[in-house]
């Protein structure tokens, strides 16, 4: 059990390093990482990485365990209705082949699937699970978490608060370095909204990295720089429940992994040694990441990291800036490197959203400051001043070190049992859901505030839903409390928790019964679920029957499915569900929710992508919501949804600014979620 785990040395959190392929995993071990996290070729939130087979994990785990290190496997994607059996078989094979030390999960389904597969290691709840406040930690532990990975958006004071209020039996982990998203983790549907390549499925196409325009303002307003806490991590050393410093970068090469891991190991092991700190900073400067920022770490919670200024060029791709492309001369492109370049250095030309973007591997040396010809692929014609980035380096010293570790890897000989056990027929064991009674379907109109007039009166055919807020509790008549559906926000931060506890206590005391939680962990606000009717809202990202069973055990009475699912998945889920299901039928579903202020973009004013897709912003409390300018609209599918078994239908009306380009609004109904 979690309570029986040995306590770590005070002031000695693990260094947890990323690996997208075997060379990077060996680089992490060579650099002294205490643990390595990696993904399989399925159900990984970094599907663009090379990733690992179960036999790869077995060999690596055998080597790591012989060195006293640990291996964590990320199965941190959303699982579609048809996939629980496949996920179960994969976990069982992983158990038999490799016996990793922990699984990292986003989807609640993995909790039950892991135990059914006989997995005896730890369950770590990913930052994508959006466990953002202290009460949520208790709920996550009660659902089966051994560790929670904290959001990147927390300040130092918020991190300390989470640590101080962390319940027994639960560990915490925090990112200290690497790429960041503009949106809160687990609260971004931007990529999925533009074609089914969901970030929650590990297939994000990074629309936030693109250039956007609003009137005369143009820039990469949503493109975040890398997180880099570097020497500030000393302030995290003696937090008793914070057990690991995590480095992002499963799509990075061994050079990055080795240098960043080494740097943070130095900062942990010699926090007061100025020479070690200087060495660590030099290592980070040569690790080939984007420019770094502190994010929210030292800021007051009312502040936000600075957004890019209008027209300012922001580095969106990873890598160290090493120069710019010169003007084309007779079809030849030169650049003058700012540092010496080595054979096999990998260069990135331009940004990913530019037509001339490409990568090049150097065949020879490029001296600093001298003109060096770029041998570009056919059809790539960069404009002058296009930036050039060094994204990976195969330094001879590192290659020699990795060669020694490869020998040890080749000598590993894990003895596992999958050769003797056929897992092909293994199926998820779920309680057979009792047939749900057929009832007349219900409509729910979700609003920012209850309107006046006929539409706001009690007794209308549709249930009125309200976002819970101090204003709503103060101004809505108590006689309406029991007739309304009260919606909690999709993200609650540590310093806000006391406010929500007070609001919810007053709400329930005065008769409110219909409560929609928009994170599973918000059930912790209701110690007696029998007092209310708890609904898991659409922001819970629920997409399969095992996850619904976990919600049922946690006290939920019904659930709203993830809007990202495709039509076939949507129609198949009610027959598998142990809970009555609802769906967002129409209205404005956000593509993302961010804690950052995307200055200088203005709210309630259209801005456009390079493909003329239109969006707009609205501010709610501490967050900016990013909306597409075209609404979600599945009303033509209502009859089919009712036949499939959906019992309530949600509309999310809003008043967007004027739009120019109508678009279909059926989300992923036809394309499916990849």
Strand intervals (E) in 41-121: 70-75, 102-105
Strand partners, 242: 172
Helix (H) or strand (E) holding 608: strand 607-608
Please report whether residue 211 resides in a domain: no
Above 50 in pLDDT, residue 1?
A: no
Please report whether residue 206 resides in a domain: no
- Of 270, 288, 306, the last residue of a domain is 288
Return the structure tokens found at 36: 């390595």
pLDDT digits (tens, 9 = 90+) for 56-87: 999 999 999 999 999 999 999 999 999 999 99
Please report whether residue 381 resides in a domain: no
Q: What is the CATH number of the domain that holds 254?
A: 3.20.20.70
Residue 459 burial (10 A CB sphere; 0-12, 13-18, 19+): exposed
Rounded Cα gap, residues 674 and 664, in angstroms: 19
Angle in degrees, CA 110, 116, 118, rounded to 5? 105
Give the residue-averaged pLDDT of 380-391.
Answer: 94
pLDDT digits (tens, 9 = 90+) for 13-51: 999 999 999 999 999 999 999 999 999 988 887 766 678
Please report whether residue 409 resides in a domain: no
Please give the pLDDT value at position 98.
92
Above 80 in pLDDT, residue 419?
A: no
**Please, what is the end-to-end C-alpha distance for the chain in angstroms?**
36
Q: Are 133 and 172 in contact (CB under 8 A)?
A: no
Q: Which of 212, 312, 302 lies closest to 619, judged by CA?
A: 302
Q: Please tell me what DSSP assigns to residue 11.
A: T
Q: What is the CATH number of the domain that holds 490?
A: 3.20.20
Least confident of 111-120, 260-269, 304-313, 421-430: 304-313
Least confident of 195-199, 426-430, 480-484, 524-528: 426-430
Rounded Cα gap, residues 189 and 230, in angstroms: 30
Q: Please tell me what DSSP assigns to residue 442.
A: E
Above 90 in pLDDT, residue 640?
A: yes
- Of 272, 288, 304, the last residue of a domain is 288
- Phi then psi for 160, rounded to 5 degrees? -60, -40
Please give the pLDDT value at position 306.
56
Residue 67: Cβ within 10 Å count: 12
Please give the pLDDT value at position 501.
96
More confident residue, 287 or 425: 287
Residue with the two structure tokens 């208790």: 138
Rounded Cα gap, residues 555 and 525, in angstroms: 12
Q: Average pLDDT, whole number, for the chain?
A: 91
pLDDT digits (tens, 9 = 90+) for 495-509: 999 999 999 999 999
Q: Please tell me what DSSP assigns to residue 394.
A: -
Please give the pLDDT value at position 425.
83
Give the residue-averaged pLDDT of 517-522.
Answer: 98
Please report whether residue 361 resides in a domain: no
Please report whether residue 87 resides in a domain: yes
Please report whether residue 450 resides in a domain: yes
What is the b/e burial string over 552-585, where b = at least 16 CB atoms within 10 angstroms of the residue's CB? Answer: bebebbbbbbbbbbbbebbbebbebbbbbbbbbb
Give the residue-averaged pLDDT of 6-16.
Answer: 79
Helix axes 54-66, 84-97, angle to 10 degrees: 40
Quote the domain boundaries for residue 235: 12-180+226-288
- Of 251, 270, 288, the last residue of a domain is 288
Rounded Cα gap, residues 5 and 489, in angstroms: 35
Angle in degrees, CA 301, 600, 214, rounded to 5? 140
Torsion of CA 447, 444, 472, 184, to 10 degrees: -60
Please report whether residue 457 resides in a domain: yes
Rounded Cα gap, residues 264 and 173, in angstroms: 15
The total of structural domains in the chain comes to 2
What confidence tier does 195 reach under pLDDT thresholds 50, 70, 90? confident
Residue 294 burial (10 A CB sphere; 0-12, 13-18, 19+): middle
Rounded Cα gap, residues 522 and 520, in angstroms: 5
Give the residue-averaged pLDDT of 399-417.
Answer: 87
pLDDT digits (tens, 9 = 90+) for 201-253: 999 999 999 999 999 999 999 998 899 999 999 999 999 999 999 999 999 99
pLDDT digits (tens, 9 = 90+) for 537-589: 999 999 999 999 999 999 999 999 999 999 999 999 999 999 999 999 999 99
Q: Are 528 and 509 in contact (CB under 8 A)?
A: no
Q: Are 197 and 203 in contact (CB under 8 A)?
A: yes
Please give the pLDDT value at position 606.
95
Give the residue-averaged pLDDT of 409-437.
Answer: 75
Please give the pLDDT value at position 674.
86
Above 90 in pLDDT, residue 658?
A: no
Please give the pLDDT value at position 156.
97
pTM of the model: 0.94
Establish whether the linkage from the previous residue to 600 is cis, with ω within 30° of 0.
Answer: yes
pLDDT digits (tens, 9 = 90+) for 522-538: 999 998 888 999 999 99
More confident residue, 363 or 416: 363
Strand partners, 536: 517, 559
Q: Which of 271, 264, 268 lies closest to 248, judged by CA?
A: 264
């Amino acid at each position: 059990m979690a309570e029986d785990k040995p306590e770590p040395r005070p002031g000695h959190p693990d260094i947890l390093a990323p690996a997208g392929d075997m060379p990077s995993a060996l680089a992490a071990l060579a650099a002294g990482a205490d643990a390595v996290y990696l993904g399989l070729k399925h159900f990984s939130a970094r599907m663009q990485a090379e990733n690992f087979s179960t036999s790869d994990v077995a060999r690596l785990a055998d080597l790591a365990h012989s060195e006293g290190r640990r291996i964590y496997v990320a199965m941190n994607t959303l699982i579609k209705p048809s996939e629980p059996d496949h996920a179960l078989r994969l976990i069982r094979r992983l158990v038999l082949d490799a016996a990793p030390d922990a699984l990292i999960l986003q989807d609640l389904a993995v909790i039950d699937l892991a135990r059914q597969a006989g997995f005896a290691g730890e369950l770590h709840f990913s930052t994508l699970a959006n466990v953002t406040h202290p009460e949520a930690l208790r709920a996550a532990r009660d659902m089966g978490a051994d560790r929670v990975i904290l959001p990147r958006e927390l300040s130092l004071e918020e991190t300390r608060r989470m640590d101080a209020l962390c319940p027994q039996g639960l560990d915490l982990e925090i990112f200290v370095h690497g790429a960041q998203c503009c949106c809160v983790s687990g609260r971004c549907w931007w990529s999925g909204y533009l074609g089914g390549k969901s970030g929650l499925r590990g297939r994000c196409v990074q629309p936030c990295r693109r250039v956007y325009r609003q009137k005369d303002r143009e820039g990469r307003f949503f493109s975040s720089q890398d997180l880099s806490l570097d020497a500030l991590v000393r302030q995290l050393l003696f937090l008793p429940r914070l057990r690991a410093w995590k480095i992002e970068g499963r799509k990075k090469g061994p050079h990055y992994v080795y240098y960043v891991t080494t740097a943070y190991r130095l900062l942990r092991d010699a926090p007061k040694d100025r020479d070690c700190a200087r060495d660590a900073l030099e290592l980070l400067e040569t690790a080939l990441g984007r420019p770094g920022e502190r994010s929210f770490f030292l800021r007051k919670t009312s502040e936000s990291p600075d957004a890019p200024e209008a027209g300012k060029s922001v580095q969106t791709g990873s890598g160290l800036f090493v120069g710019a492309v010169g003007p084309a001369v007779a079809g030849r492109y030169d650049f003058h490197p700012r540092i010496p370049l080595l054979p096999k250095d990998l260069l990135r030309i331009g940004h990913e959203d530019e037509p001339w973007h490409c990568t090049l591997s150097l065949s020879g040396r490029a001296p600093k400051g001298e003109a060096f010809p770029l041998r570009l692929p056919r059809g790539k014609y960069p404009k002058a001043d296009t930036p050039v980035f060094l994204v990976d380096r195969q330094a001879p010293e590192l290659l020699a070190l990795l060669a020694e570790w490869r020998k040890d890897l080749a000598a590993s000989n894990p003895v596992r049992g999958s050769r003797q056990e056929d897992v092909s027929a293994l199926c998820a064991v779920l309680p057979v859901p009792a047939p749900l009674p057929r009832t007349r379907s219900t409509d729910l109109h979700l609003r920012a505030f209850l309107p006046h007039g006929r539409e706001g009166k009690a007794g209308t055919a549709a249930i009125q839903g309200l976002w819970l807020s101090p204003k709503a509790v103060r101004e809505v008549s108590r006689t309406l409390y029991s007739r309304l559906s009260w919606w909690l926000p999709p993200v609650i931060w540590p310093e806000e928790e006391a406010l929500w506890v007070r609001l919810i206590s007053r709400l329930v005391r005065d008769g409110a019964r219909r409560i929609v939680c928009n994170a599973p962990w918000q059930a912790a606000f209701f110690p007696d679920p029998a007092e209310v009717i708890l609904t898991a809202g659409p922001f819970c990202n629920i997409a399969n029957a095992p996850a619904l069973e976990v919600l049922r055990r946690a006290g939920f009475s019904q659930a709203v499915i993830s809007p990202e699912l495709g039509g076939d998945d949507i129609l198949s889920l009610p027959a598998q569900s142990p809970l009555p299901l609802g769906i967002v039928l129409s209205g404005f579903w956000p593509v993302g929710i961010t804690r950052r202020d995307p200055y200088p973009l203005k709210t309630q004013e259209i801005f456009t992508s390079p493909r003329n897709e239109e969006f707009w912003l609205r501010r709610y409390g501490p967050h900016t919501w990013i909306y597409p300018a075209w609404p979600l609209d599945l009303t033509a599918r209502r009859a089919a949804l009712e036949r499939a078994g959906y019992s309530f239908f949600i509309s999310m009306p809003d008043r967007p600014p004027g739009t120019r380009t109508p678009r279909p609004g059926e989300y992923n109904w036809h394309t499916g979620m990849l």
